[in-house]
Structures are given as structure tokens and as C-alpha cells.
Amino acid sequence: MSLISTNPATSQRIHIYGSYTSVHIEASLKQAHEAFLGWRELSPKHRAKHLKSLARSLRSQLDDLADLITTEVGKPIAQSRAEIEKCAKVCDYYARHGVAFLAKEHPSGAHRHARVLYEPLGTILAIMPWNFPFWQVFRAAIPAIMAGNTVVLKHASNVSGCALAIEQVFHDAAVPEGLLHTLLIPAENVEALINDPRIHGVTMTGSTEAGRKVAAMAGATLKPGVFELGGSDPYIILEDADLDLAAEVCAASRLTNSGQSCVSAKRFIVINKVKAAFQKKLVACMAAYNVGEPFEPNTEVGPMARHDLRDELHAQVTKSVSQGAKVLLGGEPLDQPGWYYPPTVLSRVTKGMPAYDDEMFGPVAAVIGVKNESEAIKVANDTPFGLGAAIFTKNKRHARDLAPELDVGMVFVNEAVKSDPALPFGGIKQSGYGRELGIEGIRAFVNVKTLWVE
């Protein structure tokens, strides 16, 4: 089976990659396992030195790697450069803090001779998506590698060039051979990998539907997993919110990566008393974003990554409008080469519409009016997803009191939901389970071992 990379800005084919043979897969698994046997023996302090080398390798190739992201995904070039720098920062973070995170501990109240150890498991399978083709790999892989594991990467087929470049970054950093292997394989090969005894855990970022299937495979083999899946993040705008700030932050979040982010703002839940004013400001902010060729330095919104994604998004918009939603901005694919969809704002969104019920994975904002704060919380939680949420209010103390009422893994106040190397990242409900980043991320794939010595 062939894996095809296509330029979303032109719809022209970039490259056709052949799927790896069973011989190649076997050799990669063998090398990853053998690399693990040596890597786990290195002290965390020595592993940290190799992470610093990875950070240097990324920064030394930043422009070329960013160009590759933009070519394969259509991401505006400034955002692609920021993505590579963020990968370097996660290497820096775990190089700086990983030693402490993995140190043996004496739990409060435990017997004086008891200790808790954190030891690596083995080789981890990372199944990653296309929308942040470097960051999501490094976000998952670097904590696991710092913990003493090795990683094999099954990336999305449309970013095979990025997948191979990631492997090359590790090679160029002169880290021990075999810490990360890229496997160019179709989705149907995943189950055999999970069943292989040399795979000791699975981490996946992707759709909820795919996550259910992979989680079931991992569960059948009793292998631990971390799953970061879909999201329909609610952004609640309360009556006392700074509407200029809210509109600016909401627009920026909704249009990051041309709207193709699991944690971007999806549903804007607004108290009716300020809905008209907020909508006007949101439309103005989103209309001001420059849509264009992603290599142009002033482009802020590029094409969507695949034509089927654009078609699905437009079908969601069309159905929502047919059910009573009102288009305030955009709403039609751009008539030009490439898979462009303009910043779009839908108002009068109600339950039963795709804009209310489903994840809109593109530059479309759904505005939902509510009578009061309690209804806002109810609507925010009225979704199968539970990744992130944001609250906009001038009363920060009140926002802290509201945060526990939201059924999500992350709550931000007067700020967009985002990932940070120091903070646990992940969701609940159909948005998955487990956490990446922070101390929780490095301990996601370790053997938490109790040791008692008399």
C-alpha cells in the first residue's frame, strides 16, 4: 500500500511513499527493543544530556523542518516555525526537570524503609495525527524517552515526510541509535504492532472513533495507554466579561492551525445580554485574519489539510444552516486552488445541529446564546467530549469557583486552552484518558515499583 503526501495549498501530489515491509518492521522492532535494554541503564542525568542534543538538532534545522510542515499540512509558516521551537522547548523542559520527576520517593506516612521507584516499561507505540506533525510526536515521545523507554512512531499517512524527518532529527542529534523509529505503515497494521510482545504501551492522539478501536486493542493485551482524542471545547462568555479581550482570544483560538486543533475554541456560549455585542466583535476579529498561501509571511489562515476534511466541514455548516443557524461570516469554500475554507461564524446555533453536537474541525465558530450562568454550564457540559474549556469574566475568584463544574481536563480563564510542557494535558469522557506533559506525562509509561528493604 502506498502513502501519499499532497500539498493542501495546491492540491498537487508531493510524494508517494511505499509502505514498509514485514522485514523492515521486524528489524525496527528488534532494534527498538535492543536500544531500550541499553537506554534504560543510563541514568536520567545522562538521558537529559541527549535531550539537550535533540533540542539543538531541532533548532539547527528549524527553517527546513518548518517548511516541510507547511508543505505537507498547509500550516502558515510562522506557526510551523513556532511548532518546531515548541518541540525544542519540551526537550529542554524534561532535560531540566526529568531527573527530579524520576527520583525515588518516600511517600508521606510510609514505612521508613519503603521507597517508590519509577522504572521504564520498554518500547512505546506512538500513533500520531497530521495537524501538529512534530509537536504531537515530541509531546508524547520525549517524556517516554526521558523515562527510559524507546518509541516506534506510526504517523498519519499524509505527513510521511514529517515522520521520516523526525527520525532523522534523532539521528542528527547523535543520540543512541534506536530511541525512535518511524514506521511507514497503513492503519490496518496497527493491531499486529500492539499485539507484539516488544510493544509495552500505546499513546495515541486522534479522533474519538479511532481511539476507541486502538484502546480496545491495547486493553485486550493489557497494555497501558494514553489517549488524547476529539474535543468540542466550550468558551463561556459571562455578562461581565471584557468583550474585546474575549473576542480577540476566541478568534485566535478558533483559527489556530486554520481551525484544525483538538483544543481550539469550538462552541462560544454567551449570556444573551451580551451576545449581540460579542458576536459583532467576534465577526470583526475573525474577518480581519488574512487567508492566503501558507508560505506568505503575513498569512494567518491557510488551507485545510485534506479535501475530505473541507468537504465534511462544509457539510456540517450547510446542515446547521438548513436547521436554522445563521451565517454571520464566511460559510462557503473559497473558489481557488487548494482546500481553503474561510473564517466562518454561525449564530442561532441550537441543540441538534452539527455545529452544536459535533466537533467542527476547521475555522468555524458556533455561537450559542444562553439565559444565565447556570444554563451556560449546562450547555458547556452537554457534549460527549471533555478536553478543555475557557471562561471569560472580570471576576477571577468566581471563575475559580465555576471551574470544578465543567466536565473537562483543563480550564483556562480569560485565556485560550493550550498545552504547556509543565502542565498535564488531556481530557475525560470521549476526549480520552491519561495525561501527557508535566510530571504525569513522564510517569504515564513507567513501572511504579514499591521497594521495601529491612
Consecutive H or E run containing 106? none
Please tell me whether residues 53 and 106 are part of one structural domain.
Answer: yes
> 97 and 186 share a domain?
yes
Q: CATH code at 368?
A: 3.40.309.10
- Reference 165, options 65, 51, 15, 18; nearest CA is 65
425 belongs to a structural domain? no
User: In degrees rounded to 5, what are phi and psi of residue 366?
Assistant: -110, 115
Predicted TM-score of the model (pTM): 0.97
pLDDT of residue 325: 98
Give the contacts of 415 (CB within 8 A, at least 6 positions apart).
249, 390
Residues 203 and 82 in one domain: yes
Is the domain of 260 the same as that of 349? Answer: yes
Task: Give yes or no: residues 82 and 208 share one domain.
Answer: yes
Do 264 and 396 sit in the same domain of this protein? yes
Round to whole Å and give the CA distance between 28 and 230.
30
Q: Do 338 and 193 belong together in one domain?
A: no
Structural domain tally of the chain?
2
Q: For residue 191, is it within any domain?
A: yes
Q: 91, 262, 285, 293: which one is catalytic?
A: 262
Report which residue type is found at 404.
P
Residues 183 and 96 placed together within one structural domain of the fold = yes
Q: Which residue range(s) make up the domain with 120?
A: 2-229+431-452
Q: 116, 161, 124: which is closest to 36 by C-alpha?
A: 124
Q: Is residue 426 part of a domain?
A: no
Rounded Cα distance, 423 and 40, in Å: 25
Q: Is the dihedral of CA 212, 217, 219, 223 positive or negative?
A: negative
- Helices (H), ranges, 147-305: 160-172, 190-195, 208-220, 243-255, 272-287
Cell of 408: 473537562
> Are the beta carbons of 317 and 305 closer than 8 angstroms?
no
- 162 an active-site residue? no
Question: Is 75:83 a contact under the CB 8 Å cutoff?
Answer: yes
Please indicate, yes or no, if residue 101 is contained in any of the structural domains. Answer: yes
Q: Quote the CA–CA distance of 103 and 90 in Å, as a whole number.
A: 19
**131 and 9, same structural domain?**
yes
Indicate which residue of 83, 228, 359, 436 is catalytic.
228
Main-chain phi, psi angles of 357, to 5 degrees: -90, -30
Tens-digit pLDDT profile for residues 302-313: 999 999 999 999
CA dihedral 405, 410, 156, 165 (to 10 degrees): 180
How does strand 12-18 pair with strand 2-7? antiparallel
Q: 145-174 as b/e, with b when 16 or more CB fall inside 10 Å?
A: bbbbbbbbbbbbbbbbbbbbbbbebbebbe
β-bridge partners, 4: 16
Query: Do 68 and 155 fall into the same domain?
Result: yes
Tell me if 44 is assigned to some domain.
Answer: yes
From residue 439, how far is each of 159, 205, 226, 230 by CA, in Å? 29, 19, 14, 23
Q: Are residues 182 and 258 in the same domain?
A: no
Low-confidence ranges of the chain (pLDDT < 70): none
Question: What pairs with residue 2 in β-bridges?
Answer: 18
> Are residue 8 and residue 48 in the same domain, yes or no?
yes
Distance CA 203, CA 426 (A): 12
Query: Does residue 228 carry a catalytic annotation?
Result: yes
Count CB-CB contacts under 10 A for residue 442.
24
Q: Residue 53's domain is classified under what CATH number?
A: 3.40.605.10
Structure confidence at residue 84 (pLDDT) = 98
Comparing CA positions, the residue from 90, 44, 4, 58 lying closest to residue 422 is 90
